[in-house]
Amino acid sequence: MPSINENRRFLKTYFSDLDGITTDSKKGLPKPSAEKNWSENYVLIDLPEPDPKIIKNDSLYNSFKNRRSVRKYAEQALSLSELSYLLWASNGVNQRGEGGIVKRTTPSGGASYSIESYIIVQNVDGLERGVYNYLPIENKLVFIKKIENISDIIDSFMLDSKQPFLPYFARKAAAIFVWTTIPYRSEYRFDIMAHKKILIDVGHICQNLYIACEGIDAGCCAIGVYEQDVVDKLLQVDGKDEFTVYLAAAGKK
């Protein structure tokens, strides 16, 4: 069990801890891929290009002014264009350079982009209920698996008895964003200094989701209270080289 002081130290930045460590980047090892490589057995779904026409409120001022954690959702589905917009705004590609270099809508320490976006879909037009991985470079979804009893599955990881405000809110969301990290993408460059940056990266992503939701009459609520192993298993990630770090439930207000 780690101590409070150890965990506080993790929040600080002592780059001198890296002295004497040759990072894999400095060793000249190959850079890890920025997207997951799925086998050909998985179905890929094209996402609509993010379209500014779907935005109902384009006042950034009002989005900041009105942003709240939203835990009650309308029964209305999110459209595929809306989901595509939320994925793009939170963790999508907004610049393509030479040599396949891409930049994102959210910053990332060392441009390492270790955060993967998954979506647990309950109520999105045109998508089966189930689990999907977002491929930001290709603007596609990978259909990982169908889930019939999706609300029960959501209950199984939400730790509702420990939820600080409203138990069982996530089971009514149209979609749940789940962010995992593939830590090696950041460790490649920062080794033992990677891990604080990873958590800061995912905070940027979630904040963009909050603000993007405001623009389309949707709302979201960050989720830090969840059952780690249940979510990891649901996403089919190994819990070691890829694991969940944060979630958010989203839906129309």
Ligand X SMILES: Cc1cc2nc3c(=O)[nH]c(=O)nc-3n(C[C@H](O)[C@H](O)[C@H](O)COP(=O)(O)O)c2cc1C
Residues in touch with ligand X (CB under 6 A): 68-69, 71, 163-165, 221-225
Q: Nearest to ligand X by Cβ — which residue?
A: 224
**33 vs 62, which CB is nearer to ligand X?**
62
**141 vs 249, which CB is nearer to ligand X?**
249
Name the pairing type of β-strands 140-146 and 218-223. unpaired
Name the pairing type of β-strands 140-146 and 102-104. unpaired
Shortest CB 108 distance to ligand X, Å: 18
**55 vs 222, which CB is nearer to ligand X?**
222
Helices (H), the chain: 4-11, 60-66, 80-91, 150-158, 184-190, 194-215, 228-235
Kindly state the DSSP code that residue 189 receives in the 8-state scheme.
H
Tokens 């689990």, residue located: 131
Shortest CB 95 distance to ligand X, Å: 27
- Give me the numbers of helices (H) and strands (E) for the chain, helices first please: 7, 9
Shortest CB 155 distance to ligand X, Å: 14
Shortest CB 187 distance to ligand X, Å: 22
**27 vs 65, which CB is nearer to ligand X?**
65
Shortest CB 159 distance to ligand X, Å: 8
Evaluate whether 248 touches 206 at the Cβ level (below 8 Å). Answer: yes
**68 vs 72, which CB is nearer to ligand X?**
68
150 CB contacts (<8 Å, ≥6 apart)?
A: 120, 121, 122, 129, 130
**191 vs 217, which CB is nearer to ligand X?**
217
**141 vs 223, which CB is nearer to ligand X?**
223
Phi then psi for residue 120, to 5 deg, are -95, 110
Residue 114 to residues 50, 163, 173, 179, 201, Cα–Cα distance (Å): 22, 27, 26, 10, 8
Shortest CB 97 distance to ligand X, Å: 32
Shortest CB 36 distance to ligand X, Å: 24
Euclidean distance between the first and the last CA atom of the chain, given in angstroms as a whole number: 40
Residue 228 to residues 77, 80, 194, 223, Cα–Cα distance (Å): 27, 28, 20, 12
